[in-house]
Structure 1
Amino acid sequence: MNTSIVIALPKIEDAKKIRTVLNRYGFTVAAVCNSGANALASISELDGGVLLCGYHLQDMYYRDLLDYMPDYFEMLLMASQGVISEAPPSVLCVGMPLKAGDLVNTVSMILSQIERRWKKDKKKPKQRSWKE
């Protein structure tokens, strides 16, 4: 499976800047968008990966996006410390203002965790039916 990165921020210029930083460190960004609907549409076409998003997009908050996001994607929330303290434990967070090194290390960690989980799931024996 192929892991992908999708960036969803309210200001498309900010999302493009983050894409540039990630590209500089060797990551490939599959999509850049400024609304939750566009992010979900992009995610639905991909195998799995990371969604980098802000607290509030044009059409929804990050919690709404989290509800609609498939299981094979992880969310990385980029927000202020106040918002991060209220985030659910399933959401990984990076505090603003953002440091390039923190972002790159966090994205790298998330992608390696996803790869490990896929390999582990692949090694599990398949479920047998009662007849087998």
Structure 2
Amino acid sequence: MTVQTITTTQLSLDAVHELLAKARQACAARGFAATIAVTDSGGHLQVLERADNVPFLTVAVATDKAWTAASFGMSTSQWNQYMAEPTVAPLAHHPRLTPVGGGVPIIIDGQIAGGIGISGGSSVQDHEAAEEALRAMNLME
């Protein structure tokens, strides 16, 4: 029997730091400071940055937004819409699932390579900043 393996893709630490810088710039352009989290494809935290004077709750929220995006390969704002469906609504009880805009999957060559989560602005601002940072690095489909 031949053992089959699966190859996964993830960003290097240098690339993660570049993404973090792009996200920080996108947040600043929208007039807010934030906590920014980046996870690998397994939802494991790679880097976390909390700006000065940003509420400490944003640490958990940004991390869980990134985890949610990486876990399912779709943005947390999409999850917000899905929660209205009765068959999906029970997932709202999962402690890490965060159906609030600001979490977006990192996609490389069609594969989920992780997630970015931003918390500090409105859910719309967080989402837009995350997408802008990913687009700047060609990490969205």
Q: TM-score, normalised by structure 2?
A: 0.30
Flag the structure with larger Rg. Answer: 1
Q: TM-score, normalised by structure 1?
A: 0.32
- Higher RCO by CA contacts (8 Å cutoff, separation 6 or greater): 2
